[in-house]
Chain A
Amino acid sequence: MRSTWVLGLLLTLLVAVSLFALAYGEVWLNPLAAGEESWRYTVLWEIRLPRVLLAVLVGAVLGLSGAALQGLLRNPLADPGIVGVSACAALGAVVVLYSGLAAVAWFALPLGGMVGAGLSVLLVYLLSGNQSSLFSLILAGMAVNAFVGALISLVLNVAANPFAMSEIVYWLLGSFANRSLQDVYIAAPFMLAGSLAVLTSGRYLDALSLGEETATTLGFDPRRWRWIVVGGVAASVGAAVSVSGNIGFVGLVVPHLLRPLVGHEPRRLLWVSALGGAILLVLADMLVQSISGRVELKLGVITALIGGPFFLYIIMRTRSSEW
């Protein structure tokens, strides 16, 4: 009952901040009254709308994936950024974009991201399993992030385009600047499909929190459900990163902030984390636009400024019990 209230509250908040984000920019525009065929219409629906839509979708994907991975790996520090899924997705997208493959088919770019994300989820699962200690997961993620970051800069360095190398910042920190509805169209189907798959796994994750054997006796086929969660996370995060770059810490921060409101069952956490992630990124994207100097700040800077200290706080809080 309480989680229904929280859901309603977050949904209202998301609609409110999204409308506000549409209105906010170089000038104030009323999103509910913009005549067609004027520059107001273009600014509102072709420049701001794609930005807000992507912030909502990508934020929801990252928040949801964080909550699902924390449930699946039974590890409070799991997050697509920390375990290296986002970086691998960025590598896949980078290979597709700068080689020119992105022009071959509309789905090539998100597909590259999804393949990269898929490989890394498998890697993390192989490395740490579902009984991983808190820190073996982080160490594995650190290694994957460092290695894949190097591969990204290698690919960008050999790319033919003279601007490729300077875009490493975009891929490592993420941004919604200058995105168009085209980016929404190519990535949204995969983000939605992947998220739906993850959302169906709520009851399994609830059962899993009581232990793997309990989940099996309750009638869940662990192999099947593991594939559903892992596949859903890979598809949604892969597609999200391919159009926004690697925006870190959302999946870590959001579930932890919302857990006290809805309790500890993963199922309840999934929906609220999706909404919470969306709200966080819409707000962060507005902040980026308002505080930037001559060149717009990357979004990952804001999320890391929030997420970094939060990460340390979680480590400190769990240290005594699980070191």
Chain B
Amino acid sequence: MRFLSGLMACCLLLGLTAGATAQQGIKPRRIASLNLCTDLLLLELVPRERIVSLTYWAADPDMSYLADQVGDIPLNRSLAEEIVPQQPDLVLAGQFSDVKVVELLRRMNHRVAVLDVPLTLSGMREYILSFGELVGEPARAAALAGQIDRRLALVSARARQAAGAAPLAAVYGPQGVSPGRDTLMDDLLTLADIRNLAAELDIVSYGTLSLEALVMAQPDVLILDDLSLDTNSIAHQAMRHPALLRQFEAGQVMNLPPSLMACVGPTSAEAAERLLALRLGLP
């Protein structure tokens, strides 16, 4: 698995270098994005004037920490007819973006880069650097990657000095979804010296954790992946189940909003710092 993703990252880098030499010295002036994670990195690295389209998610404060910076940039639902009129000279898509729209845009001679957006911390640095090359902002990208690395390293160093055995955390999201091994959350928990219940129950990637299994495991802390604004849904009702909440005292429950966990990037450092604070605050 790790080998495969490494291989894919290499291919991606090769592809990007080739693309960059072809367009030597020319910064893309009109960039469109079909993926929330590429939206966010664009907003971090590229001046607004050069962004011509972002996804609707970018403007949703529940999912995007830069929602207030979107302003009047046109938004898209991943439809070619929303992208083409903007006449982009570079379209960014993620590995999970709709293949159909990518094919369609390429057939109309648009330059589409399908990025392998990393789902865990490994590969984040290379991803940000190659993204910077692609959009013509390598210096800013290097600065951002360096800043995130330093913050993560600091969290790791302070967590290693934390007293006591690593506490057990249950991470619980809408519909009972919990991130197991090979996820960003698992990486961040490991960094902050916290054990992940889902990983210990052999959940790989994302799986559902029944309320019963969660209560039985008697975790030390509960980390909710909760929306702050609108919680009118069955999925969110389950997270307020009295059986869940009565297991924990005030200092043992933390809310990590989805906008911090949606993509790897600066928010990963912030999430790691919050987890460290939780770790250090425990008795």
Contacts and interface: CB of A to CB of B under 8 A. Distances in A.
Interface stretch (B15-23, B67-75, B92-100, B230-238): B230-238
A178 B241 contact: yes
A178 B241 CA distance: 7
A45 B273 CA distance: 37
A200 interface: no
B212 A161 contact: no
A99 interface: yes
Interface in B37-63: 60, 62-63
B241 A180 contact: yes
Interface string B230-265: 111111111001110011000000000000000000
Contacts of A102: 232
Contacts of B146: none
B215 interface: yes
A43 B241 contact: no
Contacts of A159: 232-233
A99 B232 contact: yes
Interface in A13-40: 25-27, 39
A30 to B, nearest CB: 15
A295 interface: yes
Contact of A182 (B211, B235, B242): B242
Contact of B232 (A100, A166, A182, A294): A100
B216 interface: yes
Between B176, B212, B231, the greatest number of chain A beta carbons within 10 A of the residue's beta carbon is seen for B212
A27 B216 contact: yes
A164 B215 contact: no
Contacts of A178: 176, 211, 234, 237-238, 241
Interface in B199-247: 207-208, 210-213, 215-216, 218, 227, 229-238, 241-243, 246-247
A9 interface: no
Contacts, number: 86
B235 A43 contact: no
B247 A39 contact: yes
Contacts of A47: 211-212, 215, 241, 243
A47 B242 CA distance: 9
B156 interface: no
A161 B233 CA distance: 7
Between B176, B218, B242, B243, the greatest number of chain A beta carbons within 10 A of the residue's beta carbon is seen for B243
Interface in B87-128: none
A158 interface: no
A177 B174 CA distance: 13
A162 B63 contact: yes
A39 B218 contact: yes
Nearest to A38: B218
B175 interface: yes
A162 B175 CA distance: 12
A166 B247 CA distance: 29
B235 A26 contact: no
Interface string A163-205: 1101100100000011011100000000000000000000000
Given A26-B212, A163-B175, A294-B207, A42 B247 contact: yes
A181 B215 CA distance: 16
Interface string A283-318: 000000000001110000000000000000000000
B208 A295 contact: yes
B215 A163 contact: no
Contacts of B234: 97, 163, 167, 170, 178
Between A27, A47, A97, the greatest number of chain B beta carbons within 10 A of the residue's beta carbon is seen for A47
A51 B231 CA distance: 22
A97 B232 CA distance: 6
Contacts of A296: 208, 210
B12 to A, nearest CB: 29
A125 interface: no
Contacts of A48: 212
B231 A161 contact: yes
Contact of A26 (B174, B216, B247): B216
Contacts of B175: 163, 166, 295
Nearest to B60: A162
A39 B232 contact: no
Contacts of B63: 162
B212 A98 contact: no
Nearest to A183: B237
Contact of A180 (B213, B229, B243, B247): B243
Contact of B212 (A43, A97, A167, A294): A43
A42 B215 contact: yes
Interface string A44-85: 001110000000000000000000000000000000000000
A160 interface: yes
A166 B211 CA distance: 20
Contacts of B242: 46, 180-182
Nearest to A101: B232
The 3 closest A-B pairs by CB, nearest first: A46-B243, A178-B238, A163-B235
8 contacts: A26-B210, A39-B216, A43-B212, A43-B216, A160-B229, A163-B233, A167-B235, A296-B210
Interface of A: 25-27, 39, 42-43, 46-48, 97-100, 102-103, 159-164, 166-167, 170, 177-178, 180-182, 294-296
Given A42-B246, A98-B232, A178-B238, 12 more contacts: A25-B212, A43-B216, A47-B241, A98-B233, A103-B232, A160-B230, A162-B62, A164-B232, A177-B176, A177-B238, A180-B242, A294-B207
